[in-house]
Amino acid sequence: MSSSLITKHCESCEGIGEALKQEQITQLMPQLAKDWKVTEDHRQIKKSCSFSDFYETMAFVNAVAWIANRENHHPDLEIGYNYCHISLMTHALQGLSLNDFICAAKFDQLLVG
């Protein structure tokens, strides 16, 4: 998975335009890890991550939080002892924007290696 998305930064959601169309989403998905899924309504992308223990889970969640704050684009997270479910959507659009894919690519980098 090689992605130029990790070198980009999120735009402000104010006046961002329209949500991405299905064909745009289809073009962007190969730039993410294969375990990202588009919801049936094409409004969100989701990923589930498994970890060995709570500490590893929280280390990942804290790194996600740091990236999200730096990019000013925040995911919805569901966290348990050894898992984290991530959902990304541009709430201002009630759909997906390039910002969601930028953050997803950056979150993927946390899991490499």
Tokens in use for 49? 């991550």
Residue 63, Cβ density class (10 Å: 0-12 exposed, 13-18 middle, ≥19 buried): middle
112 confidence band (pLDDT: 50, 70, 90): confident
Domain 20-110 part of CATH 3.40.50.1260: no
Segment 36-42 mean pLDDT: 98
Residue 13 gets the label, from left (phi > 0), alpha (psi -120 to 50) or beta, of alpha
Is it the case that residue 74 has pLDDT exceeding 90?
yes
Summarised one tens digit per residue, pLDDT across range 15-36 is: 788 999 999 999 999 999 999 9
Indicate the pTM of the whole model.
Answer: 0.94
Domain boundaries of the chain, sorted by first residue: 20-110
* Other Cβ atoms closer than 10 A to 61: 16
pLDDT band at 3 (very low <50, low <70, confident <90, very high): low
Q: Assess whether pLDDT exceeds 60 at residue 92.
A: yes
